[in-house]
Amino acid sequence: MLQVAFIRENKDLVIKRLEKRNIDASQMIADVLTFDEERRGIQTQLDNTLAESNTLSKEIGNLYKSGKAQEANALKEKTSQLKETSKELTEALNAKAEALNELLYKIPNVPNEIVPSGNSDEDNEVVFEAGEVPTLSKEALPHWELAKKYDIIDFELGNKITGAGFPVYKGKGARLQRALIAYFLDKNTEAGYKEYQLPHLVNEASGFGTGQLPDKEGQMYHVTGDNLYLIPTGEVPGTNIFRDVVLNEADLPIGITGYTPCFRREAGSYGAHVRGLNRLHQFDKVEIIRVEHPKNSYDALTGMVEHVKSILNELKLPYRILRLCGGDLGFTSALTYDFEVFSTAQDRWLEISSVSNFETFQANRLKLRFKNSEGKNELAHTLNGSSLALPRVLAGILENYQTENGIEIPEVLQPYTGFKILN
């Protein structure tokens, strides 16, 4: 969440930047500042009450030592009153702090100055495009038909076992899926990211730490008996490694990667655009996460974008990069670049990665800090990106690499698959 001190010192900037999200935040910001002023007022009263109580306690001790028990007893009655007052003030302070946090949880991150204004994904800016869209024959099929033809993904079987959006990968389809995971992890570790195997369920504190709660609660599968959540992305358990941690400045930067299945309810998603692998309730993803010094985080974001580009260049898939507009920007992000691969058989772009800088927004919730050169604790910046989400990458490979003889496997994946063509 946003820091109150930042809001207090940059009130007009915060309101203006949030307008890029099509939000009039003036009343919310006014309420935050009012609650903060009231909270600080109660804190001052509490500090004065505790100071007075401590002073009286010392005075009472001295009076007893001097044999002035009657005067000491008279003051003890006053200390009892001060203790009761301090208890009431502490309760009022906690209630006010909780109310302030409830307000802050509702305010999204402030967009970076280069985020374009806009209402929806139609207003996102294309900043890069690469690769050639292959020319397919008239008999070319969309990936869900190819999956059926070559018996590599069974959507109906997944529907039988669980429900829609839970596909079953079979034979060479399962092998190709595993190959992609291994390839992505190898590319990430070669780039300096440390590999982790992470839990697939998280507690409520982890959901709040990275901003999925309360913003995306309706999109998450909730295990009510244990109050745990199935992860919607590896970003959640990965970033929460650093919750309540104070790092040394020399520890930065930190980069981690991990493979996880991801689970999203995707409530309200219907229609032809969600066919096949286009939108699933369970899917595989390899994530990259960085913890950075604030002065270096945007250079790190550029590096992450270049890293994902290098993977797609090796896969030789046609893709483009979008800078998300304010209306399409995620709740926690200050700046996001989306990668989209072109689905030739569907004649449309499919999102395969988001790379984002959250600045201090997540770190403030996580209490993720580092001790700077002056010896003071400072909030770190967090970043994450998909490297990569598998379903639409797989869809792109199946559709763009299809031939009359079968589906050719990208050269870079062949050492992982053990076969050159899927037929």
Question: Annotated binding site for ATP, which residues?
Answer: 264-266, 351-354
Choose among 345, 351, 338: nearest CA to 392.
351
**How far apart are the C-alpha atoms of 114 and 338, rounded to whole Å?**
15
**How far apart are the C-alpha atoms of 359 and 290, rounded to whole Å?**
11
Give me the phi and psi of 37, to 5 degrees please.
-65, -40
Q: Tokens 């301090």 identify what position?
A: 86
Which residues, listed in sequence order, are joined to residue 402 by a DSSP beta bridge? 407
Q: Could you tell me if 121 and 303 are in contact, meaning their C-beta atoms sit under 8 angstroms apart?
A: no
**How far apart are the C-alpha atoms of 389 and 399, rounded to whole Å?**
17
Kindly state the DSSP code that residue 274 receives in the 8-state scheme: G
Q: Work out the widest C-alpha separation in the chain, in whole angstroms.
A: 106
**How far apart are the C-alpha atoms of 51 and 420, rounded to whole Å?**
77
What residue type is assigned to position 162 of the chain?
T
Q: Tokens 């974008």 identify what position?
A: 305
CA angle 117–323–305, rounded 5-degree value: 155
H or E, element range at 354: strand 348-359
Annotated binding site for L-serine: 233, 264, 287, 384
**How far apart are the C-alpha atoms of 180 and 186, rounded to whole Å?**
10
Q: Tokens 């009343």 identify what position?
A: 27
CA distances from 315 to 307, 319, 396 (A): 13, 10, 10
Annotated binding site: 233, 264-266, 287, 351-354, 384
Which residues, listed in sequence order, are joined to residue 248 by a DSSP beta bridge? 371
Q: Tokens 């440390």 identify what position?
A: 194
Give me the phi and psi of 342, to 5 degrees please.
-85, 125
Choose among 57, 3, 67: nearest CA to 29.
3
| 411: Cβ contacts below 8 Å, ≥ 6 apart | 316
H or E, element range at 73: helix 69-105
**How far apart are the C-alpha atoms of 189 and 195, rounded to whole Å?**
7
